[in-house]
Structure 1
């Protein structure tokens, strides 16, 4: 008989809480309908449970397609997206819904839906959530505020347990809890989270799942260590949080061979919208690894997050970037640095003060991006000038450095929203260069930036009925259109790898929503090329006929 989720737990060593107890690599009796036969759960020396390939896996191959136990929109997305399928009004014309307006729940006036069908599917959980939201909004008085995202996500998990039963809760209890290793600050944070959760759902609902305070702390710890960012399939923007015990089985690497993605929005016919996709070739017996942290963060920041949030140290040595000089430590006394590629040396002046100022400017820009986007753009442009310009007083940083790359990504988002497309193209090119140095080919972040760059490079001029010459020149330039098609096809290849292929199962689109949009743009360019060639041929024929008449 296969073991259930709870019996699959492996215990960590008490001597060193950051390292798993070494044990032989053995298969684990395990059953889950969404686990492919090409994968096997094993206990691995020093790493606890992990997932190992049982067959040759290709880049772009979808390894797991599953429905999270719970996905919850964050507070920012809650008013502007459907709480069941997570679409925004802008997404609706690309989906199957006939309405382009969201329907607000008439009772709580908080949750939105894109259609009666989505509202009906969500109702078993939302009818419990609805009453809790009304109480919370009423208790907040004039603020009319709703609880924070973690509180609402945990609450939906508890209500989903009431709807689906104890089998679901066994999956939750199988997740790693680090309660014994929590710092005093974490204990206090989770204590306040548990109080807010109890107030929101009520003591009776909480006690049914968590009979004592220790069980509540376990739940909070499991959520913090095993939740995933819910992202939009069209642009990877953060929408909220998801919980999937199956996906949490994959171990971490800062050089991952697979990624966790949401290629498309869920639907009643295709609810399994959380995928794990191979981005490199994986051989039989090789562990399948995803990344738990943002790979664009500095190495020490990644290691700190792994230790503080996930309670383990990263044992894997990382290769340096060829041609890039590693940043010396803050207290380093070096006076010169040497390029690992060309071996040339140059004087070194500490950039840490400039980096500290840049990080503050980036934090200010993040705060201002929704309320004062122009101010946020100014902060980012000043930050980037200080760190990238050869005329600045500090050595220039690579576009892959932190906070340069996240600043470029945020500035690009602001420029796109402002429709400042020429400036956005320049930013996208630099961000793509930075992403290429960090992320392997086929990584979703790299694929998104390449897609954005290709779309900006191939964007036709705005329609102007009074002056159609610019559009005629655009579509009449066959060489430029063929180059544009090549840009889009190159981006499409990378997107197809990043978001996987489930077309063999009859569900979904290869490469997801992003690939669908790219294929439409490729088709537009191909149609434009055909028309331009016909126009050119017709013009040549007309000139020949005129010459013949004159002759």
Structure 2
């Protein structure tokens, strides 16, 4: 799915095409011509692969270009996202645009009451937006607050080829899926497009499937803490979070002292102790969590890199953990 609106993070504006989101970096293959990115000749702030990408983005950037040209500085990413929503609103897209599953922008939840209960203050975002866009695009404060809520709750980070977050995108169709720390589907960015993948090749797409809103590789306590906070506001009760024993096995490491011993990596900070021989491991929780975090590489890189990573990890991870890695590779 292509994003309804998307922005390249301010720090990457000169490195990433604001249309197709492919990076201008050595040895990276972009789908557009192999040439340095070109700055927009109007605002000189956003960059494109070439005229084709600029023309593709012009329906939004035509107005945005004027905003950027008169701005004292490039505004925050959230303000630029709001501005792009305001441009689409003026074009009538909020009423006419439909995602692949029929959803439209007005169908998105804004969780306004949750933000207000947290004491969120939207005055700065409203004032910054008001100072950035021209008056004929501006709406009242209540509408801006709804826009902010919808963006914070529903947007996804767009990742580059080397797993760097390079921007945010609002995917109206994909954001219908609920969260699970053991998701049915995984997300991957290819340029600005968001791709959903399933390990089950016979899986048909339906709204009851799940994705992970955060890294499923973090420990249960950390995952639940993130999901309880802004902008998710819920206590996760998925199978992985409820079954802490299974979570410990999935992140476990080998015992250094005995054959077949396993040290579970759980949420507490107690020393890692072998379930078989009872000897405490010299590996700390921090080190074990770091190794488990590195597993993220298998989600974003090719099968050859996955296989290499698994071979290098065989002396660290336990058999249950290795089986979980093998599933991720497939």
TM-score strictly above 0.5: yes
1:227 and 2:155 equivalent? Answer: yes
Q: Which residue of 2 aligns with 1:198?
A: 130
Matched ranges for 1:44-59 at <5 A = none
Q: Measure how far apart 1:259 and its partner are.
A: 0.9
1:70: which partner in 2? 5
Q: Of 180, 186, 191, which aligns to 1:253?
A: 180
Most deviating of 159-168 and 100-109: 159-168
Residues 305-384 of structure 1: matches in 2 within 5 Å?
A: 305-308=226-229, 309-316=231-238, 317-318=242-243, 319-322=246-249, 323-327=262-266, 329=268, 338-340=273-275, 342=276, 344-346=277-279
Contact 2:9 2:166 in 1 (8 A): yes
Q: How does 1:107-506 map to 2 (within 5 A)?
A: 107-136=42-71, 139=72, 145-165=73-93, 166-168=95-97, 171-183=104-116, 187-188=120-121, 190-207=122-139, 212-232=140-160, 234-262=161-189, 264-265=190-191, 273-280=193-200, 287-308=208-229, 309-316=231-238, 317-318=242-243, 319-322=246-249, 323-327=262-266, 329=268, 338-340=273-275, 342=276, 344-346=277-279, 390=282, 396-397=284-285, 399-401=287-289, 431=294, 435=295, 444-445=299-300, 447=301, 451=305, 454=308
In 2, distance between residues paired with 1:295 and 1:84? Answer: 30
SS at match of 1:109: coil
Once the two structures are superposed, residues 174-207 of structure 1 have per-residue CA deviations (whole angstroms, 9 ceiling, x without a partner) of 111211122555521x332222222212443131
Q: Give the deviation of 1:301 after TM superposition.
A: 2.2
- Whether the aligned pair in 2 keeps the contact of 1:260 and 1:290 (CA below 8 Å) is yes
Q: 1:494 and 1:187, CA in 2 relative to 1: closer, same or farther beyond 3 A?
A: closer
Cα distance change of structure 1 residues 186 and 115 upon mapping to structure 2, 3 Å threshold: farther
Q: How much does 1:450 deviate?
A: 5.9
Instruction: Tell me, yes or no, if the aligned pair for 1:259 and 1:278 is still in contact at 8 Å.
Output: yes
Q: CA deviation at 1:347?
A: 6.0
Distance in 1 of aligned mates of 2:289 and 2:77: 30
CA distance in 1, matches of 2:272, 2:23: 49
Higher helix share: 1
Going from structure 1 to structure 2, the CA distance change for 1:254 and 1:324 (only over 3 Å counts) comes to: farther
Q: Report the structure number with the largest CA radius of gyration.
A: 1
Deviations 1:83-113 (A, max 9, x none): 1112233379734544512111112111111
Do the aligned residues in 2 keep the contact of 1:303 with 1:313 (CA within 8 Å)?
A: yes
Size of the alignment, in residue pairs? 291
Using the TM superposition, give the Cα deviation of residue 448 of structure 1 relative to its aligned residue in structure 2, in angstroms: 5.5
Q: Note the residue ranges of structure 2 that are not aligned, 5 or more in a row.
A: 250-261, 312-324
* Corresponding residue for residue 477 of structure 1: none
Change (3 A) 1:90 1:161: same
Render the CA deviation track for 1:111-165: whole Å, top value 9, x for unaligned. Answer: 11111111111112111111111222xx3xxxxx311111111211221233353
Evaluate the alpha carbon distance shift between residue 194 and residue 291 of structure 1 in structure 2; reply closer, same or farther with a 3 A threshold: same
Contact map agreement 1:93 1:100 (CA 8 A) in 2: no
Note if contact 2:176-2:207 (Cα within 8 Å) is conserved in structure 1: no
Paired with 1:397 and 1:329, the residues of 2 have a C-alpha distance of: 9
Q: 1:71 is paired with a residue of what secondary structure?
A: strand
TM-score (norm 2): 0.75
Aligned to 2:255: none
Relative distance call for 1:325 and 1:398 in structure 2 (3 A) is farther
- Root-mean-square deviation (CA, aligned residues, Å) is 3.5
Structure 1 residue 245 displacement after superposition: 1.4
1: distance between equivalents of 2:70 and 2:10? 17
SS in 2 for 1:345: coil
Counterparts in 2 of 1:282 and 1:304: CA distance versus 1, 3 Å: farther
- 1:345–1:261 distance in 2 versus 1, CA, 3 Å: same
Determine the C-alpha separation between the residues in 2 that align with 1:448 and 1:120.
32
Q: Secondary structure at the match of 1:187?
A: coil
